[in-house]
Amino acid sequence: MPDADTEAAQSLPAPRQQAAVTNDTPEPTGPYVQRSRADWAAMAPRVPMTLDEPLLRQLRGTGDPTDLSEVEAVYLPLTRLLSMYVHHTGELYRSTNHFLRINSHRTPFVIGVAGSVAVGKSTTARILQALLSRWPEHPRVELVTTDGFLWPNAELQRRNILHRKGFPESYDRRSLQRFVMDVKSGLAEVHSPVYSHMVYDIVPGEKIVVRRPDILIVEGLNVLQPARIRSDGTTGLALSDFFDFSVYVDAADADIRRWYLQRFMSLRETAFRDPRSYFRRYAEMPDRDARHRAEELWDTINGPNLAMNIRPTRGRATAILRKGENHEVKWVRIRKI
> HEC profile for the chain?
CCCHHHHHHHHCCCCCCHHHCCCCCCCCCCCEEEEEHHHHHCCCCCCCCCCCHHHHHHHCCCCCCCCHHHHHHHHHHHHHHHHHHHHHHHHHHHHHHHHHCCCCCCCCEEEEEEECCCCCHHHHHHHHHHHHCCCCCCCCEEEEEHHHHECCHHHHHHCCCHHHECEHHHECHHHHHHHHHHHHCCCCCEEEEEEECCCCEEEEEEEEEECCCCEEEEECCCCCCCCCECCCCCECCCHHHHCCEEEEEECCHHHHHHHHHHHHHHHCCCHHHCCCCCCHHHHCCCHHHHHHHHHHHHHHHHHHHHHHHHHHHHHHCCEEEEECCCCCEEEEEEECC
pLDDT tops 60 at residue 4: no
Mean pLDDT for all residues in the chain: 89
In this predicted structure, what is the pLDDT of residue 29?
63
Residue 24: predicted pLDDT: 44
Tell me: pLDDT of 16 over 60: no
180 close to 218: Cβ distance less than 8 angstroms: yes
Summarize the confidence of residues 106-121 as an average pLDDT.
Answer: 95
State residue 92's pLDDT score: 87
**What does the pLDDT read at residue 135?**
82
- pLDDT at res. 15: 43
Average pLDDT over every residue of 42-65 = 87
Q: How confident is the model at residue 28 (pLDDT cuts 50, 70, 90)?
A: low
| pLDDT (average), residues 208-223 | 96
- Flag whether pLDDT at 291 surpasses 50: yes
Does residue 23 register a pLDDT over 60?
no
Choose between 59 and 1: higher pLDDT: 59
What's the rounded mean pLDDT across residues 240-268?
Answer: 96
State residue 52's pLDDT score. Answer: 92
Predicted local distance difference test score (pLDDT) of residue 239: 96
Give pLDDT, residue 26. Answer: 53
Evaluate if pTM is beyond 0.85.
yes
**Res 9 pLDDT > 50:** no
